[in-house]
Each structure stands twice: as C-alpha cells, then as structure tokens.
Amino acid sequence: MNELLPQFTYTNTSSVAGTKIGAVNALPHNDWRTTLTNIIKLLLNISGGLTLVSFTVGGVMMIISQGNGDLLNKGKQVTYYSIAGLIIIAVSYAVVIGVSELQFFTPGAGGGGGAQTSGSPAATPAAGSTPIPTK
C-alpha cells in the first residue's frame, strides 16, 4: 500500500523562532499574474471539456431522432452552439496565453517610461550624459 502513495521528504534547514518552516519553503512562490493566468487556463480547460460533452450530446440527439424533426433540429442547434463555443474558448485561450507571455507582465522587464515631473527632455540631461551646449 505504501508504494501507491507519493513520498514527500523535506529538508528542514531553516527555522524562525525555533519553528521549522522547511515544508512552507517547499511551496511554489508564484506572483499574482501567474496564479491568475493558471486559474483562467483551468476555467477554460473545464469549459472546453463541457463544450465537447455538449457536442457529443448534440450528436447523440441527432442520431436518436429517427426522423423526428424537432429532435433533429434541436440536436443540430446544440452541435452548432457547441462548435461556436469551442471556437470562442480556443480564441480566448490564445489571448490569455499571448497576454500572459508579453514582456510588460514580467517583473523588472523594462516597460515604458512615465510622465516627466519637471523640465523638458532637452533641459534635463540623463544621468551620466554630457549636456549638449546650445548657441
């Protein structure tokens, strides 16, 4: 039975006021952007699975309609909406992946400047640069 359960070992090398916190240090240290992206990906995966289930239900409805026009039309409608939902989910998943991979979401990766608080660019030279004399 012990072979089926995962074995976790933590090395407790640090302590705070006599309390060992090695297990806490083993937890992942993600920022809020990564956590939010992972939650959105999870929700999109779940909704994609539900869309495939509804696609299957629509197909089964068309198969068992046996000439019943109402059931056949309802099955077609469920199938069409499932395909539309799957397309929307795929596009939104691509947008989430694309936006989460942009550089301005990475901490410390440049980014645009800000509003200047005093002076104009010509009147305020950058640090470490030599000002150009004006005539």
With H, G, I as helix, E, B as strand and everything else as coil, classify residue 103.
Answer: helix
Evaluate whether residue 58 is within a structural domain: yes
First-to-last alpha carbon distance for the chain, in angstroms, is 87
With H, G, I as helix, E, B as strand and everything else as coil, classify residue 30.
Answer: coil
With H, G, I as helix, E, B as strand and everything else as coil, classify residue 91.
Answer: helix
User: pLDDT value at position 38?
Assistant: 85
Evaluate whether residue 57 is within a structural domain: yes
Threshold 0.85, pTM exceeds:
no
Evaluate whether residue 13 is within a structural domain: no
**DSSP assignment letter at 106:** S
Domain ranges, residue 60: 35-100
Please list the alpha-helical segments (H only) found in the chain: 22-25, 32-63, 69-100
Evaluate whether residue 125 is within a structural domain: no
Evaluate whether residue 25 is within a structural domain: no
For the chain, what is the domain count?
A: 1
* 15-16/19-20 β-pairing: antiparallel
At 36-76, the pLDDT tens digits run 888 888 998 999 999 999 999 999 999 999 888 999 999 99
Closest CA to 85 of 77, 97, 74: 77
Count of CB atoms within 10 A of residue 86's CB?
Answer: 16
